[in-house]
Structure 1
Amino acid sequence: MPTVPILMPQLGESIAEATVVRIDIAIGDVVKADQEVIEVETQKATMGVTTLCQGVVRELNVQEGETYAVGTTLGLLEVEADEVEKTGVETLEAAAEKRVNTAAEEEEKNLHFAVDDDTYEERQPVVEPSVKGLPVPAGVMGAHYISPRMRARMAELGLREADISAVVGTGAGGRVTVQDLEAFLDYIEEWPSSQASPMRLAVADAMRRSWSRPLATVSRPVRLDRALDHRRAQDPKPGLTLYLLRAFALALAEDPASAGFLIGERIVHPRAFDIGVAVQVEDGVVVPVLRNVDSMNLGQLTGAYAEMVDRARRRRLTEDDTRGGIATVTNFGTFGLTNGTPIPLPNETLILGLAAGEKKPIWSKEVEAFVPATEAELAVTFDHRVVDGGGAGLLLARIAELLQSPEKL
């Protein structure tokens, strides 16, 4: 009688194993298709392993309290031939026959010694999805895999992985082959194009490296009236960005770990509160860094900021002017944007963004009525390995609180 494995399923992109917490079946039990038979626990959740088809439990290779890798055979089911045909599941016998045929074909092609081109497929057992709502196969090389031959061709052309994201792959598992790449390049050959400037290439490289981390963004509204009233009484008038910069520095000084960065198993805390300010220039953005912002008042920051921005727009910044920052502030509200998800630099954990202010009716507890007020969205994007959503929310709340006392900034 055909046999079908009960496999430890892929439980999420970053999860490689799970611990069995409960076994609900025994040898000889009859189970239905899609029946939850084993409960497993990962670092994030408890989930159920389900069967792929109806059958009789012939073997159990699992114990409660033990941890098993994704793809491990936890048990075997004996199934009827018509059940296999009806559900389309792959039996152990069919999988073994396929491996024998594949090995014979590769021997004929003399590929047993070479792992070199787009015809190569890693021979791993396919794990059929057996957790509801998580149809993710494990152990299968897909479109993310780039063969050595493909990498060599990309190197010749000066291309990175992100550059081929638009190419549809026709290779095994959906991978992009050299032929796919060449066809795509021929297809766009006659399209209008322009040479990317060194500034644009630098920004692209920084964003590509930034996005290699798990980034998340949270936001909340903030009242700006008090900061705007305070600004009108100053001479010279500090920009709203400086109020944000100063509040950000003070909040981080109270909780330096929020701006730390992860190196191996250590979180390295900042030794100084040097914060960058995103400045829009022709065909890109530069981020000059203001030093020791936590120890400077608004008046001191105003002069230093104006001089730095002037040099940035004249392309007169030195390398020292743009390195060593622990975080960045960006005021994308100057472009009329009411929301956004800024991306931190690769060497920074945080970036704080301010959207455009809007006049809104806000309920006042003091007068028990709606009053006109200027409100804007305040957003922080963070490296989720270092900061969680709750911590980011508390940081935003503290910044918003500090902005309500601009005279102390």
Structure 2
Amino acid sequence: MAIEIKAPNFPESVAEGTVATWHKKPGDRVERDELVVEIETDKVVLEVVAPQAGTLGDVLADEGDTVESEQVLGNLDETASQGGSSKQGDKASSNDAGADTPSAEQKADTQKTDGGQQHDIKAPSFPESVQEGTVAGWKKKVGEAVKRDEVLAEIETDKVVLEVVAPADGALTEIKAEADSQVESEELLAVFTEGAGSADGGDAQPQAAASDDAESEGSANEELDGKILAPAARKMVAENDLDASRIKGTGKGGRILKEDVQKALNDGSAKKASGGEQKAKGQAASKANKPDAAAQAAPAPVEGQRPEKRVPMSRLRQTVAKRLVEAQQTAAMLTTYNEVDMSAIMALRAEYKERFQKAHDVKLGFMSFFVKAASEALKRFPDVNASIDGKEIVYHGYQDISVAVSTDRGLVVPVLRNTDQMQMADVEKTIGDFGKRARDGKLGIDEMQGGTFTITNGGIFGSLLSTPILNPPQTAILGMHKIQERPMAVDGKVEIRPMMYLAISYDHRMIDGKDAVQFLVAIKELLEDPARLLLNV
């Protein structure tokens, strides 16, 4: 029976996509949930996985073709998979007789060996803005047993760390790109063999049999629960020890997508009833013990020594340094300052913070006020929301605000989309999620691309005043600072008020000084009278 393989259901803001890469050829064997084809839209690359095990039949949309939401891309022959074993047996017999020798093209990505099916492990497909990456490290050694979706290696680009996972149970046969080597998009990293590898280095066949049993058991459990998970979603469920039966799938046929798992992870609705707390406690205990062990292993410093340590600069740090220098060299950057009385906002937070947290399950912070105030001010001053592209000015009819997040690896700037339409609770939740995933290196590349304006908050580190540097091709950036009580003249009297210095750096090629000052004054007025945010006055 033929099963249709369709393009994903695109969101409203995405009209169409392009068939980027077919990972299988007609006649190739495909397992359920295995990646078949990738669809590239103007915002993100979407994975299309096999709804059932079978053999890929006709391909109806070639690479480079433009497709619409839920358009049929190809067919999957489920009947062919059921008769696969007998056909493979017939082919094996004919091969012994010297016939039906597979072509070199068929062996290119996947081939059959005595140890099991072989796969080429390739670097992820980088977007246009990322030219290359660095193999940060291999998590598995050659011959070491690996489970499907387990991380094999990490690729560090100038924006994010990408994980390369195992396509099946097995082991690495050969590593082609060593740690710290530079790789390009979809470059061959290693060769992986299904069923190979074992913990004690024994025969691979028992391991393969156990792997098949594990897969069969996993499939049975999924059928029992009535849940089908996409590969990325299954990986997140395993990493966070979640109960898949508690996650609502929004994909085709109720399939659980990565976004569904992330949502369940944020609201805590998919935590396991038992075992999860013990695992968390075990991890906490393990982390608590690590510093002691490290302290014991570290040699005591000798008095009078002047130690030095040289480490290579990460690609992210190199890119940040390069962009900051370019911003100062190419833009006519100027900074203007003002100060804002935070009394009204602090009083508002004090009055409603408990009810806000109870209603939205997130704390009410200062960033949501600044994001909403900036969104309103950007509407009034379109030049500040514009960007420079060569000799052209691009005016954006929307507000996508980048928020600077500091991590151990360096500064990353994820983007809040359509902030004028976001509620304050949504802003706080999204920023909190960005911060957590940025520190864990889990942000996607698409989440850090774009943006029409940037906000950076040095006040959380105690900065009283600073000059923020532009985030090209944007033409302005707002700097927040520490709230500090200062004596202020109010109606002829001296009062102690919680004050914050604001700084806006802007590209004078695009923005006149008058507009920059008025933009900052607009933010100041909106923050000092928060009711104006609701009334749009």
TM-score, L = length of structure 2: 0.39
Match of residue 379 from structure 1:
503
Match of residue 472 from structure 2:
346
Match of residue 524 from structure 2:
400
Post-superposition CA distance 1:164-210 (Å, at most 9, x none)? xxxxxxxxxxxxxxxxxxxxxxxxxx986331122211211221222
Match of residue 317 from structure 1:
443
2:420 counterpart (273, 278, 294): 294
Q: SS of the counterpart of 2:451?
A: coil
Alignment of 1:57-206 (within 5 A): 193-206=310-323
Match of residue 406 from structure 2:
280
Alignment of 1:231-242 (within 5 A): 231-232=349-350, 233-234=352-353, 235-236=356-357, 237-242=363-368
Q: How many residue pairs get matched?
A: 218
**1:307, distance to aligned residue in structure 2 (A):** 1.6
Letter in 1 for 2:517: G
1:262/1:385 contact within 8 Å kept: no
1:215 counterpart (333, 349, 365): 333
Post-superposition CA distance 1:35-88 (Å, at most 9, x none)? xxxxxxxxxxxxxxxxxxxxxxxxxxxxxxxxxxxxxxxxxxxxxxxxxxxxxx
**In 2, distance between residues paired with 1:320 and 1:305?**
16
Letter in 2 for 1:391: D
2:389/2:473 contact within 8 Å kept: no
1:279/1:287 contact within 8 Å kept: yes
Aligned residues: percent identity?
31
1:358 and 2:484 are equivalent in the alignment: yes
**1:339, distance to aligned residue in structure 2 (A):** 0.6
Post-superposition CA distance 1:370-408 (Å, at most 9, x none)? 111011110001111001222111000000011023243
2:346 counterpart (205, 225, 228): 228
**1:330, distance to aligned residue in structure 2 (A):** 0.6
**In 2, distance between residues paired with 1:345 and 1:199?**
15
**In 2, distance between residues paired with 1:373 and 1:389?**
28
Q: SS of the counterpart of 1:257?
A: coil
Q: SS of the counterpart of 2:520?
A: helix
**In 2, distance between residues paired with 1:406 and 1:297?**
14
**In 1, distance between residues paired with 2:313 and 2:418?**
35
**In 1, distance between residues paired with 2:389 and 2:418?**
24
**In 1, distance between residues paired with 2:482 and 2:449?**
28
2:340/2:528 contact within 8 Å kept: no
Match of residue 26 from structure 2:
none
**In 2, distance between residues paired with 1:303 and 1:242?**
10
Q: Which structure has the greater CA radius of gyration?
A: 1
Which structure is richer in relative contact order (CA contacts within 8 A, separation 6 or more)?
1
Post-superposition CA distance 1:78-105 (Å, at most 9, x none)? xxxxxxxxxxxxxxxxxxxxxxxxxxxx
Match of residue 77 from structure 1:
none
Structure 2: segments with no counterpart, 5+ residues: 1-306, 358-362
| Higher alpha-carbon deviation: 391-400 or 210-219 | 210-219
1:327/1:344 contact within 8 Å kept: no
**In 2, distance between residues paired with 1:199 and 1:396?**
31
1:370 counterpart (486, 491, 494): 494
**1:310, distance to aligned residue in structure 2 (A):** 1.5
**1:249, distance to aligned residue in structure 2 (A):** 1.0
Post-superposition CA distance 1:334-368 (Å, at most 9, x none)? 11111101112122111100111110111121xx3
Letter in 1 for 2:310: S
1:390 and 2:514 are equivalent in the alignment: yes
2:367/2:428 contact within 8 Å kept: no
1:241/1:330 contact within 8 Å kept: no
Alignment of 1:319-334 (within 5 A): 319-334=445-460
**1:265, distance to aligned residue in structure 2 (A):** 4.7
**In 1, distance between residues paired with 2:404 and 2:388?**
23
**In 2, distance between residues paired with 1:263 and 1:397?**
28
TM-score, L = length of structure 1: 0.51
**1:252, distance to aligned residue in structure 2 (A):** 0.1
Post-superposition CA distance 1:1-20 (Å, at most 9, x none)? xxxxxxxxxxxxxxxxxxxx
1:363/1:369 contact within 8 Å kept: yes
Q: SS of the counterpart of 1:358?
A: strand
RMSD between aligned alpha carbons? 1.9
Post-superposition CA distance 1:252-275 (Å, at most 9, x none)? 012212221234553210132000
1:336/1:356 contact within 8 Å kept: yes
Match of residue 185 from structure 2:
none
Post-superposition CA distance 1:216-249 (Å, at most 9, x none)? 1111111111111212222223221221111111
Q: SS of the counterpart of 2:482?
A: coil
**In 2, distance between residues paired with 1:191 and 1:213?**
36
